[in-house]
A and B are shown apart, each in its own frame.
Chain A
Amino acid sequence: MCDSCGCDLNHGHSHDHSHDHSHDAKVIEVHQSLLAANTAMAEKNRAHIEKMGAVAINMISSPGSGKTTLLEKTIEAIGDSLRIGVIEGDIETDRDAARIRAKGVPVIQLTTGGACHLDAALVHKGLHLLEKEPGGDQLDLLVIENVGNLVCPATFDLGEHHRIVLVSVPEGPDKPAKYPKAFISSQVFIISKTDLLPYFDFPVEEARAEALQLNPKLLVMDLSATSGQGFEQWLDYLKGICRK
């Protein structure tokens, strides 16, 4: 049987001679990741970003966890000490990009037109567009704000150096347990909107412990973009990763 002969598994293209019998089924061993194409593009992005002299972060959370607000406040607070550029990912609209543009930093909006996550190819396009914006090729920190979704974005490497996952206090502390992939693949876990802690049952220490169970290497921070609580640690972290 041709199924088991395995004759041309590794023979490239010069083998089509002796197998022209009619029943020509064949088992092909592939052993390749479905994400291989995305990963290859992500590596290109990473190299490209490094050539720009920048460090990239990929922010992942559910819709409404406060990614854009955190980013707005971060740009305000960090002032001239870091040159920030932003790639915004959403399914539709350029509203987030407009909010970031109002803060005076280079930004471009990627709309996925329905897809629930950014992928490396889309970010690659975004990088080239961002470089055409004034100041977009002179960055210390590139922030990629992913489509609001705590599930799908976790699967796709975009070429970032650090991945940051956010959960806001109103969402509840059970998110690490329910959506483990985002927490396993991230380096930083931010508990956001801590100014709302008096109104919600969100045991910060329990959430922290649960996330660390999944990924002991996670750096966990809690902060509020509204009150400014915890902001120093966040800004120090960003300056730290951008320091050569």
Chain B
Amino acid sequence: MHEMSLVQGLLNQLHDLAREHNKTKVISVCMDIGPLSGVVMDSFQFGFDILSQENPLTRGARLEIVSSPVIYRCSGCDAKIEEESKPQACPACSETLLYPEGGDDIILRQVQME
């Protein structure tokens, strides 16, 4: 359940951004959570729902989560494969050893504040 500590990190960052931009209220937050990040989206949302209530800055803020796809790189022909889930084999050369590229980060994309 490391989602809680990640949400806490997010809230700290929101406080810094609010101070930097002279804002007092977070309206919405957009996160990009990669499918290989090891983060459970529901747990992240749950943690946000709880922890955001603890402070007037974030109380009632909306959390939107998007998920950028993983790109797989074929070890045989170096092709780039972009699929929803990991393909069994390279569509070009049938190689089965495919390296994931990206998809493992947890990025704060955008914040709406007033």
Measuring CB to CB, which residues of chain A are less than 8 angstroms from any residue of chain B? 3, 8, 13, 16, 23-35, 37-38, 115-117, 119, 151-152, 154-156, 180-182, 184-185, 212-213, 215-217
Contacts and interface: CB of A to CB of B under 8 A. Distances in A.
Contacts of A32: 13, 107-108
B68 to A, nearest CB: 12
Contacts of B27: 25
Taking chain B's interface residues, is the majority helix, strand, or loop, or is none over half, making it mixed?
A: mixed
Contacts of A216: 75, 97-99
B37 A116 contact: no
Interface string B96-114: 1111100011111111111
Contacts of A27: 110-112
Interface string B14-25: 000100111100
Contacts of A38: 9
B34 to A, nearest CB: 10
A184 B112 CA distance: 34
A28 B17 contact: yes
Given A32-B13, A155-B2, A181 B20 contact: no
A152 B21 contact: no
B6 interface: yes
A243 B111 CA distance: 47
B56 interface: no
Contacts of B79: none
A30 B111 contact: yes
B9 A116 contact: no
Lowest 7 CB-CB distances: which A-B pairs, in order? Answer: A152-B2, A181-B38, A25-B114, A216-B97, A34-B106, A30-B108, A28-B111
18 contacts: A13-B20, A25-B112, A26-B113, A26-B114, A28-B21, A28-B113, A29-B109, A30-B13, A30-B109, A30-B110, A33-B106, A34-B6, A35-B6, A35-B9, A117-B2, A152-B1, A181-B36, A216-B97
Contacts of A215: 99-100
Interface string B52-83: 00000000000000000000000100000000
Nearest to A26: B113
A34 B36 contact: no
Contacts of A119: 5
B10 to A, nearest CB: 6
Contacts of A28: 17, 21, 110-113
B110 A29 contact: yes
A216 B37 CA distance: 18
B21 A30 contact: no
Nearest to B97: A216
Given A35-B105, A180-B36, 17 more contacts: A8-B21, A13-B20, A26-B114, A27-B112, A32-B108, A33-B107, A34-B9, A34-B10, A34-B107, A35-B6, A38-B9, A115-B5, A119-B5, A151-B38, A154-B38, A156-B2, A216-B97
Contact of A116 (B2, B75, B97, B106): B2
